[in-house]
Amino acid sequence: MSPTLAVIIKLVSIIGLMLTNGVFMIYLLRKVLGHLHIRLGPMHVGPHGILQTMNDVIKLLTKEDLTPRLADKALFYLAPMIVFVPSFMAYLALPFSDTLKATSLETGLLFTLAALSVVPIGILLAGWSSGNKWGLLGGMRSAAMQIAYEVPLLLSVLPVVMLAGTTDLGRIVEAQAGVHLGFIPGWFIANPLLWPSFVIFVIASLIEVNQTPFDMSEAESELVAGFGTDYTAMKFGLIYLSEFSNTFIVSAIGVTLFFGGWLVPWIPMAWYDAVPVLAPTVFILKTYLGIVLMWWIRGTYPRVRIDQLMDLGWKRLIPAALVMIVLTGVVDKLIVPLVTGTVG
Amino acid sequence: MSDARDDIVTVGLPAEGTHDPGTPPAGIGRAPTGVDDLATEHLIVNMGPQHPSTHGVLRMLVELDGEEIKNAEVTLGYLHRGIEKLAEHRRFDAIGTLMDRGDYVSGIMGETAVALAVEQLMEIEVPRRAQWIRVMMAEINRIATHLLWYGTMGLDTGAMGPFLYAMRDRESLLDILEAVSGARMMFNYVRPGGVVADLPVGIDTKIREFCNAFDTYVEEHDAILSGNEIFQARLNGIGVIDAEKALAFGLTGPNLRAAGVDFDLRKTRPYDAYPEMEFDVPLGATGDAMDRFSVRMEEMRQSNRIIRQCIEGMPEGEHTAKVPKVLRPPAGEVYASVESARGEVGIHLVTDGGTSPYRMHYHGPSLYALQALEDIIPGHLIADGCVMIGSTDIMLGEVDR
C-alpha cells in the first residue's frame, strides 16, 4: 500500500469516526440526560428514538444558512472551521490499540492538547465575528477562560509523563501494563500520588469541553447561546459536532493517561493479538464511561460564575498542579529509589 | 446599521460620556482596577424580552463594563392585556377569570382576592367548608407555584435537573387542581360566596398521597440545589435586599420575609380558614438570594402541613353561600388582599351598584420586586443578575397585567 493511500484511508476513517461517533453521542447524551431527569429522551423517530439524531443532521443540512447583516462575513464562515479542524487533528494521535492508531507521535500527548487549545480561538472568532453582543460576551469569556484552564490541564498531565517517561500516548499505555501485588491494575489511577492530578485533570477537561458547571461561553441562562447565538444550519452543526468530538477526545486522553488505555488488567498480553477487536472495544467502552460521567455532572450541577472559575483556575488548580509535579518528582525520583535501594 | 439600534442606546440612558458609573457597592469589589487609563467603553445590551432567563417577557437594558452590570433599566408592558380595564366590563363572578391570567401560575390566590372583595361589599357569609376548600386549594397552588420558581431558579444558575424534578411534582398538583376545578391553570374556581363546585369524591386519597410523597420530595429538591456547593456560592450574599430597603420598595411575600420582616397576611390579617390552621412563617436573616431561596423552600413544607390539616379536618356543609345569579354589590369601595405565593395580591374595587365594578385596581407584588431589582442589580455580574431575577420570583403576567 502506498503511503499516500494509507494517509487518505486514515483521514477518511477519522472523519467517519467523528461523524458516526458524534451522531451516536448526541443520541446517547439525550438518553442519558433524559433518564437522569426522570424523562425518556427521544422516543418517536425509530425504536426508542434512535433515528432522532439522523433527522436532526438532515435538518441542520437543509436549513437556511443565515449570515447576520452585521457579521464579519469571512471570519463568520472561518470560525466553525477553526473550531472543527483541531478536533479532527486531535484524533490523529489517539491509540485505540497497540496497532490501531493513525500515527505514532513521540509528542502525541502534547500534540493532542495543543490541537484542542486551538478550539477556543475559533470560539472567540465565532463570537466576535457574528456582530452580536451576546456572541461577543461568550467569545470573550472563552478567551479569558482558555488561559485559566489550559495551564492547569497541561500541568496536571505532567506527573503522568514523569512516571511514564514519555509523551507518546501509546507508550504511556504500555507503561501501565501489569498488576501490583497481584490484583491492583497497573493503571496510573492506582497510584495515590496521581489522584490530585487526576482531579485537576477532570476539572480542567470539563472546562475544556464547555460542560456544565463550566459552560461559560455558551451559558444559556446568561448569554442566550453565547458565541453560537447567531449560528444556524451546518455552521452551527460543525461547532456542535466539534464539541461532542472534543468530549470524546478529552475522555479518551483521560482513559489513556489514568485508566490504562486499551489495557484490561489480569489478562495475558497474548489475548490482544488473538482477538484484535478486544483492545479498541475496551478503549471505547472506557472512553464512553468517562463521557457518561461528564454528562452526569452536566445533568446535575449548576454553573459557576466566571470570576469563581478564574479563582479556581489561577488560585487553586495551577498552584496545586505545580505542587503535584514537585511532589511526584521528589517521591518518584528520590524517595522511592532511596527506600528500594535502587538509587543510581 | 439601522436607526433602531441608535434609538435603543439613547432611550432612557444617559448620553455617551455623560454617565458616571459610580463606585460599585461595598462588598462587590469585582470592578477591574488599573484599566481606567485604557480606552474602554461600556456595552449596552438589550436583555430580553426573548432572553431565556427573563421569565417571560421582561426587557432590561443593561449597561455592561466587561461582565459587570453598571446600570439596568427595566422596560415593562410586553404582556399588557389591560386586566384592570377589562374588569370594568365583566360581571363580578367573571373577574376571577382575568385574575387567572394575571399571575398565571397562582390563579387560585388571585381569584380569592376578588371573591373576598365582593363578599365584603355584599356582606356574604362564606360557609366554613368553602373557606377550608379555598385554603387547601390555595396552598396546593402555592406549592405548584413555588415548584415552578424552584425549577427556574435551577435553570437560572445553569442546572437543568431540578426543573424536571420540580415538574414531576407540579404535575401531580396540577392533576389534583384539574380534578377539583376542571382546569390546570386557568381555574376560575373560587367565586364570590364560596367555590364553584364541591370536592370530587376520592380526591382526599389523591391529596393525601401527594402530601406523603412530597415530604420526601421536598427534601430531595432541597438536597439537589441547596446542598450543592456551587449553588451556594452563586447565591450567598448576592442581591441583598435588607429589611429597610424591602419595606421602602414595598416588597411583600417571601422577598420581604427573607429580609427578616415577619409579615404574612395569612397571620397578620387572616382571611378564610387561615386562623384555624397551624403553620409557621419562615424568616430569613440578611435578605440575600440564598435567604429568599430558603424561605420559599420552607414555605413549601409549611404549605404541605396546611394541606394535610385541611384534608384531615375538612368540615361538612355547603361549598357555597346562597348568592344571586347576577351579583350586584352596593355602591362603595373595598380593598381585600391575600397572601399569594409572591406576596400581597390586593384588589381595590370601586362599585356604583351595577353588575360590574366601576374601577378595579390590581395590586401585585412582582411590580415592586422588579423596582427593587433595578436597584440591586448594578454592580453585580451578568450571571448574578440572572440569579437575582430568579430569586425575586417576578411574574410578568402580574407586572404588566
DSSP A115-130: HHTTHHHHHHHHHHHT
Residue of B nearest to A300 (CA): B161
Residue B43: C-alpha distances to residues A125, A134, A137, B343 (Å): 18, 10, 10, 35
When mean pLDDT is compared across A97-101, B74-78, B137-141, B304-308, the lowest value belongs to A97-101
Burial class (CB in 10 A: 0-12, 13-18, 19+), B325: exposed
pLDDT band at residue B35 under the 50/70/90 scheme? low
Residues sharing a CB contact under 8 Å with residue B178, sequence separation 6 or more, in sequence order: B184
B residues 24..43 contacting A (CB < 8 A): 30, 43
Q: What is d(CA A234, CA A230) in angstroms, rounded to the nearest whole number?
A: 12
Measured from the Cβ of residue B401, the count of other Cβ atoms closer than 10 Å reads 24
Q: What is d(CA A27, CA A22) in angstroms, rounded to the nearest whole number?
A: 9
Nearest to B214 by CA among B152, B120, B84, B303: B303
B381 contacts chain A (CB < 8 A): yes
Measured from the Cβ of residue B201, the count of other Cβ atoms closer than 10 Å reads 7
- What strands, in cross-sheet order, belong to the sheet with B68-75? B43-47, B59-65, B68-75
pLDDT band at residue A14 under the 50/70/90 scheme? confident
Q: Which residue matches cell numbers 494517509? A: A7
Nearest by CB to residue A304, choosing from B51, B168, B230, is B230
In contact, B161 and A297? CB cutoff 8 Å? no
pLDDT of residue A72: 83
Tell me which of B159 and A275 has the higher pLDDT: B159
Peptide bond into A213 cis (omega under 30): yes
pLDDT tens digits, B315-355: 888 888 888 888 888 888 999 999 998 989 999 999 988 88
Q: Which residues of B touch A140 (CB under 8 A)?
A: 66
Percent of chain A past pLDDT 70, that is, above it, reads 99
Length of chain B: 401
For β-strands B59-65 and B359-363, DSSP reports them as unpaired
pLDDT of residue B17: 52
Answer yes or no: is pLDDT of A138 > 80: yes
Tell me the CA end-to-end span of chain A in Å, nearest whole number: 46
- Domain boundary (A56, A77, A97) is at A56
pLDDT of residue A147: 77
Contact A37 B155 (CB under 8 A): no
In contact, B292 and B391? CB cutoff 8 Å? yes
Residue of A nearest to B54 (CA): A221
Sign of the CA dihedral with A298 first, then A302, A306, and A312 last: negative
Q: What is the mean pLDDT of chain A?
A: 84
| Domains with residue ranges and CATH for chain B | 3-75 (no CATH), 83-400 (1.10.645.10)
Are residues A73 and A197 located together in one domain of the fold?
A: yes
Q: What is the mean pLDDT of chain B?
A: 84
Are residues A32 and A76 located together in one domain of the fold?
A: no
In contact, A110 and A117? CB cutoff 8 Å? no
At A31, the amino acid letter reads K
Residue of B nearest to A222 (CA): B383
Q: Which residues of B touch A33 (CB under 8 A)?
A: 160
Helix ranges, A117-232 (H): 119-129, 133-164, 169-174, 195-208, 220-223
Contact B52 A305 (CB under 8 A): no
Answer yes or no: is pLDDT of B26 > 60: no
Q: 3-state class of A310 per DSSP?
A: helix
Measured from the Cβ of residue B10, the count of other Cβ atoms closer than 10 Å reads 11
pLDDT band at residue B31 under the 50/70/90 scheme? very low
Are residues A7 and A108 located together in one domain of the fold?
A: no
Percent of chain A past pLDDT 90, that is, above it, reads 6
In contact, A44 and A74? CB cutoff 8 Å? no
For β-strands B190-191 and B68-75, DSSP reports them as unpaired
Which of B224, B382, B388, B389 has the highest number of chain A CBs within 10 A, making it the mutation to test binding with A?
B382
Are residues A328 and A257 located together in one domain of the fold?
A: yes
Sign of the CA dihedral with B118 first, then B119, B121, and B122 last: positive
- Backbone torsion region of residue B91, taken as left when φ is above 0, otherwise alpha when ψ lies between -120 and 50, otherwise beta: beta
B233 contacts chain A (CB < 8 A): yes
Residue of A nearest to B226 (CA): A302
pLDDT tens digits, A292-302: 999 988 888 88
pLDDT band at residue B306 under the 50/70/90 scheme? very high
φ, ψ at B238 (rounded to 5°): -95, 135
- Backbone torsion region of residue B24, taken as left when φ is above 0, otherwise alpha when ψ lies between -120 and 50, otherwise beta: beta
CA-based nearest distance A213→chain B, Å = 8
Adjacent-strand bridge partners of B349:
B334, B360
| ipTM of predicted assembly, 2 dp | 0.81
Contact B230 A301 (CB under 8 A): yes
Are residues A51 and A106 located together in one domain of the fold?
A: no
Query: What pTM did the predictor assign?
Result: 0.84
Are residues A79 and A142 located together in one domain of the fold?
A: yes
When mean pLDDT is compared across A94-108, B201-215, B325-339, the lowest value belongs to A94-108
Q: What is the mean pLDDT of residues A95-101?
A: 77
Q: What is the DSSP letter of B291?
A: H
Q: Which residues of B touch A307 (CB under 8 A)?
A: 30, 67, 381
pLDDT band at residue B304 under the 50/70/90 scheme? very high
Q: What is the DSSP letter of A226?
A: G
pLDDT band at residue A116 under the 50/70/90 scheme? confident
Q: What is d(CA B131, CA A102) in angstroms, rounded to the nearest whole number?
A: 75
Are residues A198 and A89 located together in one domain of the fold?
A: yes
Residue of B nearest to A140 (CA): B66
- Expressed as residue numbers, the domain containing A16 is 1-56
Q: What is d(CA B243, CA B256) in angstroms, rounded to the nearest whole number?
A: 7
pLDDT of residue A288: 92
Are residues A69 and A29 located together in one domain of the fold?
A: no
A224 contacts chain B (CB < 8 A): yes
Angle ∠(B57,B239,B152) on CA atoms, nearest 5: 45
Q: What is the mean pLDDT of residues A307-321?
A: 87
Are residues A85 and A203 located together in one domain of the fold?
A: yes
Answer yes or no: is pLDDT of B143 > 90: yes
Residue of A nearest to B49 (CA): A224
- Domain boundary (A15, A34, A56) is at A56
Residues sharing a CB contact under 8 Å with residue A240, sequence separation 6 or more, in sequence order: A26
Q: Which residues of B touch A222 (CB under 8 A)?
A: 53, 382-383, 386
Residue of A nearest to B42 (CA): A133
Which of A133, A206, A222 has the highest number of chain B CBs within 10 A, making it the mutation to test binding with B?
A222
Answer yes or no: is pLDDT of B229 > 80: yes
Contact B383 A222 (CB under 8 A): yes
Answer yes or no: is pLDDT of B16 > 70: no
Residue of A nearest to B388 (CA): A222
Total count of domains within chain A: 2
Are residues A215 and A272 located together in one domain of the fold?
A: yes
Q: What is d(CA A19, CA A53) in angstroms, rounded to the nearest whole number?
A: 11
Q: Which residues of B touch A302 (CB under 8 A)?
A: 154, 157-159, 225, 228, 230-231, 234
pLDDT tens digits, A183-241: 777 788 888 888 888 999 998 888 888 887 888 777 777 777 778 788 888 888 888 88
Residue B13: C-alpha distances to residues B65, B77, B385 (Å): 15, 18, 19
Instruction: Count how many pairs of residues, chain A against chain B, have C-beta atoms within 8 Å.
Output: 88
Q: What is the mean pLDDT of residues A301-324?
A: 88
Q: What is d(CA A102, CA A15) in angstroms, rounded to the nearest whole number?
A: 12
When mean pLDDT is compared across A286-300, B34-48, B74-88, B117-131, the lowest value belongs to B34-48
pLDDT of residue A300: 85
pLDDT tens digits, A241-284: 888 888 999 999 999 888 888 888 777 777 777 777 888 888 88
Are residues A52 and A128 located together in one domain of the fold?
A: no
Contact B158 A136 (CB under 8 A): no
Contact B158 A303 (CB under 8 A): yes
Are residues A27 and A158 located together in one domain of the fold?
A: no
Q: What is the mean pLDDT of residues B173-197?
A: 89
Q: What is the mean pLDDT of residues B254-265?
A: 89
Residue B176: C-alpha distances to residues A194, B183, B207 (Å): 54, 10, 7
Contact A221 B168 (CB under 8 A): no
Answer yes or no: is pLDDT of B9 > 50: no
Measured from the Cβ of residue B32, the count of other Cβ atoms closer than 10 Å reads 12
pLDDT of residue B25: 44
B residues 137..166 contacting A (CB < 8 A): 154-161, 164-165
Q: What is d(CA A81, CA A79) in angstroms, rounded to the nearest whole number?
A: 5
Nearest to B64 by CA among A130, A136, A338: A136
φ, ψ at B219 (rounded to 5°): -65, -35
pLDDT of residue A343: 54
